[in-house]
Chain A
Amino acid sequence: MKNILTYGWYARIFIIVLWFASLWFRTILDFEQKQALLVALIGLSNLTLYLIVAMRLPLLTHSQSSAVLPGFSSQLKTELLQILGISLLPTLLLLPNFWMWLGLISIMLACAMLMAAMIYLPKYQIIFFAIMLLPISFESLSIVVTFDQVMSFFVYIFPAIAVCTWWLLDKLVVYRKPSKHIAKMMLMVNASLDRTLAAQDHIPPESQNIFMRWWGNLNFGHERKIISAADEFQQRLSMRKLIAIGCHSSASFSRYSYITWSLATILVCSVALTLDQSHYAAFIPLISIVPAIIIGTASITLFQMVNSKSSYLARLSILPRFNDKQSFAKAFIKYILFNQGAIIVFIAMLVAITILTFEHLSWGIYFKVCLLAIALCLINSALMFFCWSNKSTGFQKYIFIIVFNFILFMLLILEMTHNGIDSAISLSSIFTVMLVCASLCVYTIRRYLHRFTVTV
């Protein structure tokens, strides 16, 4: 059961890395100064864990076997308690500050309850949004709430939360309603349990929620317009564009993804401009990590999309539009490099806007971060082309390396923004890394092209 509840290696690795990062911070940094950072790291890792478990839980509570297997509910409760217990172990790092430790446990239990409630009954999602808006509400009402006050509040209500959690667990393991919503949820979870994000494209529209349908139509609308316009004006789309349409999926970084992220950045910056600069510290982790996440996940998504479409792409490659397989390969290489390049340029622009607003980075560090991001994309592209030129079907090991690169990059970015290790990484060493990554990328592209020139 634990395997199902915590399914997914990326999430597991992400959580464990955050736990180890907490341990690392606890041992090397001054405890008094880093308490808030520890709470943030442990909180983020555990929230991820609870979200995953809450999403997987309907697979067990609503499975047909749950009704017939003896002792299913009690076993499920034991497993959930064990996961909860394990997740609370990292909170021990907060000791000897007993007050903060108890407060964090209380928050974690409340979050676990909220996650489960949100998955089973969507109306409770309103609580999540209400909590998200609380800081802004306090700010606008000029209510000053300190970190210690929040922790104290949760310590005092800890007994009530503990009792509620126990009661909710009892109820959850035998919960069977509402079947229609849960059926949709299970379909989505089953898709996410698949090894590829592309599985989400195969969820029937009637089983998608309004948001998914809306986003899907918006996301694919642009591609449809391109096809229709080309047909109407009897234009020939470029080979790269045809491959891009063939590979496009609901998880792709589309035109509307660019617009959404741009709007989100403008919104965050606009909100920040209305606040006092003393509050900017709360935004820094968000505006540092999110761009890194976009770059990392864009590579992984692209790789998975292409892998899931390999048979379809092979079929497209034999169509008359392509003179030979090499012309297809060249168009495909253009598609991959263009995709990665567009994301890098876009993220560089977003980060520049946040720097103009928050002034959290010097332009020197910004330049270095951009170069490192390019290096990350180059090495990820090299890995992808290496995998494809090997005709390897073992994609997971490559994904694992890409995820590892991504985590490394994220930690590096966090360090650079928090501690400004500008001098620690010299420009020449970054250029060396870039050169190595670019050489690897060129080598693997040539290798990939060579595969299409070799004939039997």
Chain B
Amino acid sequence: MSTVISIESLNKSYDKQSVLSGLNWQVSQGDIVGLLGKNGAGKSTLLKSLLNIDEIDGGQISVFDEAHHSLSISSKEKIGYVPQENDEITWLPVTDLIKFRKQFYQQWSDEKVNYYLDKWQIDTRKKMIELSPGQAQKVLIILALASMPKLLIFDEPASALDPAGRRDLLKELVNLACDENITVIFSTHITSDLERLASKVAILDKGKICYFDDLDKTKENVVQLVMHGQQLSQQQIPNALRSDIKGNNTYCVVTKVDLIWLEEQKQQGVKIDIKPMGLEDIFLEITAS
């Protein structure tokens, strides 16, 4: 699979406070990446930087094999972006806002716009300011989808939606990604959304992508080991993120179980339980470590 986004040594700071430092990341075509991070970790900054909405301090970003700051029009046509906050023109009715946005694109699907407007029952006569936050966010999503992008970037796409709206949107995104082989990157801190949609999970912490892997592999690999009757330090356990000793037992979270080490322990008579973890716990463990 070809690389859609490639980031090398990205640095970005605000008021001399570093937000992203030496960040490296590569996203392949067709990936549906959920970007997880704590509040203020820099998720929005990363997404805005790779789109050249925010200028970067250092590093290199390429999107569709072109430098992000000098993307060709054809590459720009392939990008759809939904911002976290609705800063669209408040006084325009939805129908006029769509016409306004259409002015910026060469390819635009009116069918797709009408399909989603009907599906989400959005009153196009209403002005943006008259819509509920959820409806306004749906309009922003329609605007992003209307140009038939190959790369969709969502900054907290479902934050203003109710549970039904969120489920609906996520289902739609999965269908889109599967049918049209588009790449999706979405930032979120709702891990259940990520579990429903993403094929890969990226965790942003301390200015870097500290974890990036397939979601299924992540849930398979990142597990908690409970070693009964053993007191082991973190250094003694391969791939350990964190370990706690409670009584005679050791509780340890590992990013991947070392099967050889596990076999050795079993041969020594150590009883080890392997407990799978939810994505939320995995995220907390990785960022805490």
Contacts and interface: CB of A to CB of B under 8 A. Distances in A.
Interface of A: 201-202, 204-205, 216, 220, 223-224, 227-228, 230-231, 236-237, 242, 245-246, 248-250, 309, 311-312, 314-325, 391, 455-456
A231 B102 contact: yes
Name A's interface SS. Answer: helix
A456 B87 contact: no
Contacts of B102: 231
20 contacts: A204-B129, A216-B91, A220-B92, A223-B92, A224-B96, A237-B103, A249-B91, A312-B89, A315-B53, A315-B83, A318-B51, A319-B76, A319-B105, A320-B73, A320-B77, A321-B104, A322-B104, A391-B55, A455-B67, A455-B69
B76 A312 contact: no
A319 B93 contact: no
Given A312-B87, A318-B79, 15 more contacts: A201-B91, A224-B96, A227-B103, A237-B103, A245-B100, A246-B89, A248-B91, A314-B54, A318-B52, A320-B74, A320-B105, A323-B73, A325-B52, A456-B57, A456-B59
Interface of B: 51-59, 67, 69-71, 73-74, 76-77, 79, 81, 83, 85, 87-93, 96, 99-100, 102-106, 127, 129-130, 147
Contacts of A314: 53-54
A321 B51 CA distance: 15
A320 B104 contact: yes
Contacts of A324: 70
A223 B97 CA distance: 11
Contacts of A201: 90-91, 129
B129 A202 contact: yes
Contacts of B147: 320
B104 to A, nearest CB: 4
Contact of A315 (B74, B81, B92, B106): B81
Given A205-B130, A216-B91, A455 B70 contact: yes
Contacts of A312: 87-89
B150 to A, nearest CB: 13
Contact of A230 (B77, B81, B103): B103
A227 B104 contact: no
A321 B103 contact: yes
B111 to A, nearest CB: 16
A242 B76 contact: no
A205 B89 contact: no
B145 to A, nearest CB: 15
Nearest to B100: A227
A315 B58 CA distance: 21
B23 to A, nearest CB: 14
A366 B90 CA distance: 40
Given A220-B92, A320-B104, A456 B69 contact: yes
Nearest to A245: B100
B69 A224 contact: no
Given A318-B53, A456-B56, A456-B69, A230 B99 contact: yes
From A228, A236, A319, residue with most partner B Cβ within 10 Å: A319
A212 to B, nearest CB: 12
Contact of B99 (A220, A228, A309): A228
B93 A224 contact: yes
A242 B104 contact: yes
A356 B67 CA distance: 60
Nearest to B57: A456
Nearest to B56: A456
A324 B88 CA distance: 21
Contacts of B85: 311
A321 B105 contact: yes
